Every structure is written in structure tokens, then in C-alpha cells.
Amino acid sequence: MSALFALLLTGWLQAADYTADLNHSTLEFSVGSALFDAHGTFQTWSVTATLPDGADLSGLRGAVTVDVASVDTRVRKRDDHLRSGDFFDVAVHPKATFVIAGVTADGETLTATGALSLKGVEKELSIPLKVLYKDADRLRLTGEYVLKRRDFGIIFDSSVNPIGEEVTVRFDLNLMRDGAAPLPDPSAGG
């Protein structure tokens, strides 16, 4: 009897794997400057996550990986400059990653802690999360946090248009359990 119980418990505690549904997710940033603020996104990025079945979100683990060369601020000259050694240095550091080491809950507020690696520098971060939706196949998380660009060796400044120190990152992640049916593609009118 105990062997049957152990077998059932093992199946119940198996981890479910999730990936970002990029058609229904966003990753954006903004930084202020004296003359005009820059707003942008990345065209190529991914999220992988694992959550044990039957567990609350404190069991969530995963990683966000961003191809920083895919930066898009809708200004080609600025994007090319962001790819250079003055900013992301994509020839040497093509990826940025945030690895989730743990999630804690304080009432309705969740906080993901982990390490962000950007431009060859790794820093510990705590990022607030809001759960907008959760069922057996989907998990939607939103949040916003602020980075100090100089913490990651991004020190370039412009004498014409001085750049702010703080970069605000916003995300809306729609995570889909592996094997789940995708939501309709919004570009197809769904």
C-alpha cells in the first residue's frame, strides 16, 4: 500500500515545464534622457520555467534569455549604437539572462529572486510579480523593475542628450505548459 501511495505522490509532484507564448507576451524597456526618452523592446527572447504539480508558485524556477542584438527602439541608428561596445557590446556579450532562484509570497505580492547577467556582469535582483491568470495550462505574470545601467558597465553618456541612470523594464509573460494548445495568433485576428 505504501508503495502505491509513493508512486501516486511521485506522479503528483512531477514538474510541469512551461515556455513563453511570445505571441501573447511582451518585454519592454524605457530610459529617460534630457531631450527625449527611449522606449524599446527585444525581438528575440525566450522563457523556460518549471513548476512542480500541486505546488504553489514558490516552487517556480526558470530563466529568461534575451538576444540583446535584437534590440528595437524603432530608430535604426540608435539600435546600432545600443549594440556597440558603448552599451550592450553584442559582439562579446550576445545574451542577457535572468535565472530565477526562488519565489516568495507576501500576501498578494510575489517576488522572484535570481541573478541577471548582462554585458558580462552578474547581479542579484528581486523582481515583483503579479499573477493575472493561472490554470492547469497557463500562467500569466506581469511586473516592472528598475535597473541601474552603470551597475552593468553601461557608462556611455551623451553631452548633447544626457541619459538617465535608471532603466525601467516591464514584462507581461504568458507562460504555456508544454503540450498545451496555443492561444490564437493575434496577427491572424484571434
Q: Where are the chain's structural domains?
A: 14-180
Residue with cell 551623451: 158
- pTM, two decimals, is 0.86
Q: What is the pLDDT of residue 125?
A: 96
The pLDDT, as a whole number, for residue 43 is 95
- Counted residue by residue, the chain has a size of 190
Summarised one tens digit per residue, pLDDT across range 177-187 is 999 888 887 77
Q: What confidence score (pLDDT) does residue 189 get?
A: 63
The grid cell for 84 is 556597440
Cα gap 58→60, rounded to integer Å: 6
Residues paired with 103 in a beta bridge: 112
Q: What's residue 14's pLDDT?
A: 65
pLDDT given for residue 31 in this prediction: 97
Count the Cβ atoms, other than its own, within 10 Å of residue 72: 14
The CATH number that domain 14-180 falls under is 2.40.128.110
Query: Quick one: pLDDT at residue 56?
Result: 82
Q: Which residues in the chain show pLDDT less than 50?
A: 1-13
Tell me what the pLDDT averaged over the chain comes to: 89
Which DSSP state fits 56?
Answer: -
What is the predicted pLDDT for the residue at 184?
A: 82
C-alpha cell of 131? 499573477
Q: What is the pLDDT of residue 90?
A: 98
Distance of CA 15 to the CA centre of its chain: 20
> 112: which 3 cell numbers?
522572484
Residue 54: per-residue pLDDT:
63
Q: Report the DSSP beta bridge partners of residue 130.
A: 142
